Amino acid sequence: MDCNKEEASRAKTLAEEKMQKRDFVAAQKLLMKAQSLFSGLESLPQMLAVCDVHSAAEKKINGLENWYGILQVMHFDDDATIKKQVRKLALLLHPDKNQFPGAEAAFKLVWEASVLLADKEKRSSYDISAESTHGLLAC
């Protein structure tokens, strides 16, 4: 068990180095490894939230932001589900509570996504644009 915790700590340290270099996709993979080795490691949820948001933001839909992916919701999810996810991510990413590299930018992306998806007209327009350019909305 201690061996797993040490290996998980090593992966977490490497992930933080990747985050400092803005390589969130590689950091995300390392954090997933750390989580599978020892899920009780401190700060994993905060670090993963940063990496998940940035990784989703890198996956544009024909030039459009992947707002659903950033919030880790599906395009057919209702407003209540989206609001719940926004609150969850906001708590994990708030700059006062998360000092990891990229947390503040991830928090801003979540905020932008929530503003767009909370407005029915903007959401509908985004859905139409994303579907017409991509064929399907992806998470």
In a domain, 139, yes or no: no
In a domain, 122, yes or no: yes
**Local confidence band at 133 (pLDDT 50, 70, 90 cut-offs):** low
In a domain, 57, yes or no: yes
In a domain, 74, yes or no: yes
In a domain, 125, yes or no: yes
In a domain, 60, yes or no: yes
For 48-103, write each residue's pLDDT tens digit. Answer: 999 999 999 999 887 889 999 999 999 999 999 999 999 999 999 999 999 999 99
For position 70, which CATH number holds? 1.10.287.110
In a domain, 36, yes or no: yes
> What integer pLDDT is reported at residue 33 of this predicted model?
96
pTM beyond 0.75: yes
For 110, the domain range is 2-134
| Torsional class of 78: left (φ above 0), alpha (ψ -120 to 50), beta (otherwise) | beta
In a domain, 82, yes or no: yes
Number of domains in the chain: 1
Which amino acid is it at 117? L
- Within 94-139, residue ranges assigned H as helices are 103-118, 120-134
- Tell me the CA distances in angstroms from 15 to 50, 90, 114, 118, one per residue in order: 11, 21, 27, 33
For 13-31, write each residue's pLDDT tens digit. Answer: 999 999 999 999 999 999 9
